[in-house]
Amino acid sequence: MPNFRTLDDLGDVSGKVALVRVDLNVPMDEGSVADDTRIRAVAPTILELADAGAKVLLLAHFGRPKGQRSSTESLSLVQGGVEDVLGREVMFIPEVAGPIVEQAIGILRAGDIGVLENTRFWPGEEKNDPEFAKAVAANGDFYVNDAFSAAHRAHASTEGLAHLLPAYAGRAMEKELKALDAALGNPQTPVAAVVGGAKVSTKLAVLEHLVTKVQHLIIGGGMANTFLAARGVNVGKSLCEHDLAATAEAILDAADRAGCTVHLPYDVVVAKEFAANPPSLRTCNVHEVAEDEMILDVGPQAVEALGDVLKTCRTLVWNGPLGAFETPPFDTATVALAQTAAALTKEGSLVSVAGGGDTVAALNHAGVAADFTYVSTAGGAFLEWMEGKELPGVAALNI
């Protein structure tokens, strides 16, 4: 785990200016915040700093304005949502650097909170331009990064600032880094990874990294079909990347060499059409899929066996559903295995960490997200972490 400072390492901050990178890239509906999950995630850090007497200035991007001002992507639109979550008044400041910010800081009292404008209105943000970062840093006394979800980008507000000011991980960042360390950094073994989802091609780097890290690799979803096909199984008209057969073989060989057991489904749920509860629905052995059928979920016997694998493991990292979980009954395997993992976590025998857009939705659908040790909502950053990449925003916090 990177060695980073947290808010516990801050001395007296009263009257000091905290530049706090947060994730305010929230979904909007008719001009107001439609889902405040991301704001709620950073609220503890903001309130802790404000209550300690800092002047808290929030830095964030919003949408993709590509280096110029855009009225529909101003963070002024999110100011009200931030106030609602924090239960406090928040000042909107229409710049990120310069005299307007300086004046605002003069008006703010110790413990007050301000939201700076969308960092991506300035081309220097995404270019990580040192001059831009210096101009932003000039108004701050210290920097806090609480946006793990943006840490895979080396931008001025996520990376550059950490080199210019004393830098600290916020509470949400700290929690995420500790959970990820427990999952793949310094995990208790045996470790199982579930990798599912639609396509192998989107998760090649994840698979290649995991086979060197985990003892059990459970492959489900559409991507299992590519592996089955590579092994000579007829997958009918399933979603399958036949051109990746050699790549799939190479991953299986690498797993063999590393002593990682790969689990592919041996029974599957198939249908002739992709629809809710189709009349052609049936469960069969993987070797019995007909030419006009497609595999849409892992079968009940395989799921039971996978549950038994998890019972022997101490750590689980999960990305990607086992089946086309949005359409019933192809959510069955995902829900069943998620419930097993949740029960083992509750018993204290398993540390379970999951992430990915559809994975979070699937775990919520299974009603078990709260029972997992940690569920990451950071899509891109979580996947890059699963690929074993160093995230620039995290590396910059290293002391």
Looking at the annotation, which residues are catalytic? 38, 199, 357, 380
- Which residues sit opposite 113 in a β-bridge? 56, 90
Closer by beta carbon to ligand ADP, 77 or else 341: 341
Could you tell me the smallest distance in angstroms from the CB atom of residue 243 to ligand ADP?
Answer: 17
**Shortest Å distance, C-beta 296 to ligand ADP:** 5
CB of 211 to ligand ADP, least distance (A): 18
**Is residue 324 involved in binding ligand ADP (CB under 6 A)?**
yes
Q: Are 294 and 274 in contact (CB under 8 A)?
A: yes
Q: Which amino acid is at 266?
A: Y
Position 326 contacts ligand ADP (CB under 6 A): yes
Select from ligand ADP, Mg ion, none the partner in contact with residue 265, using the beta carbon and a kind-dependent cut-off of 5 to 8 Å.
Answer: none
Cα–Cα distance, 37 to 41 (Å, whole number): 6
Pick the binder of ligand ADP from 185, 278, 357, 388 (CB under 6 A). Answer: 357
CB atoms under 10 Å from CB of 258, counted, come to 14
Sequence-ordered strand ranges (E) for the chain: 17-21, 28-29, 32-33, 55-59, 90-93, 113-116, 142-145, 167-169, 191-195, 216-219, 261-263, 267-271, 282-285, 294-298, 315-319, 351-355, 374-376
Residue 393 in contact with ligand ADP, rule: CB under 6 A? no
Q: How far apart are CA 59 and CA 187, in angstroms?
A: 33
Residue 375 near ligand ADP by CB under 6 A: no
Find the residue with minimal CB distance to ligand ADP: 197
**In the range 157-216, which residues lie near ligand ADP by CB under 6 A?**
196-198, 202
DSSP 105-141: HHHPPTT-EEEE--GGGSHHHHHT-HHHHHHHHTT-S
219 or 397: whose CB is closer to Mg ion?
A: 219
Distance CA 125, CA 199 (A): 32
Binding residue for Mg ion (CB under 5 A) from 23, 125, 159, 358? 358
- The interface mask with ligand ADP, positions 226-245, x = CB under 6 A, is -------------x------
Among 101-109, 186-194, 244-252, 355-363, which window interacts with ligand ADP (CB under 6 A)? 355-363
- Tell me the site size for ligand ADP, rule CB under 6 A: 20
265 binds ligand ADP (CB under 6 A): no
Residue 262 contact, options ligand ADP, Mg ion, none, Cβ 5-8 Å cut-off depending on partner type = none
Residues contacting residue 184 through CB under 8 Å, at least 6 positions apart: 191, 213, 214, 317, 385, 386
**Residue nearest Mg ion (C-beta atom):** 358
> Rule CB under 6 A: is residue 105 a binding residue for ligand ADP?
no
> In the bound complex, what is the minimum distance in angstroms from residue 296's beta carbon to Mg ion?
17
Taking only Cα atoms into account, the Rg of the chain, rounded to an integer number of angstroms, comes to 23
The entry of Mg ion, ligand ADP, none that residue 319 binds, CB within 5 to 8 Å by partner kind: ligand ADP
Does position 358 bind ligand ADP by CB under 6 A? yes
Euclidean distance between CA atoms 310 and 294, whole angstroms: 27
Strand partners, 29: 32
Of residues 80 and 357, the one with the C-beta less far from Mg ion: 357
Phi and psi at 275, nearest 5°, equal -155, 165
Between helix 245-258 and helix 221-230 the angle, nearest 10°, is 90
Q: Does 357 bind Mg ion (CB under 5 A)?
A: yes
Query: Cβ 122 to ligand ADP, closest distance in Å?
Result: 31
Q: Is residue 380 a contact residue for Mg ion (CB under 5 A)?
A: no
Spatial contact of 49 and 11, defined as CB atoms under 8 Å apart: no
| Interface size with Mg ion, residues (CB under 5 A) | 2
Query: In sequence order, which residues have a C-beta less than 8 Å from that of residue 226 and are 6 or more positions away?
Result: 199, 200, 240, 241, 242, 244, 245, 248
Let me know: does 191 contact 316? Beta carbons within 8 Å. yes
What does 41 interact with, of Mg ion, ligand ADP, none (CB < 5 to 8 A by kind)? none
233, HSE (Cβ side, Cα atoms, 13 Å): 23
Give residues in contact with ligand ADP (CB under 6 A). Answer: 196-198, 202, 221-222, 239, 295-296, 319-321, 323-326, 356-359
Give residues in contact with Mg ion (CB under 5 A). Answer: 357-358
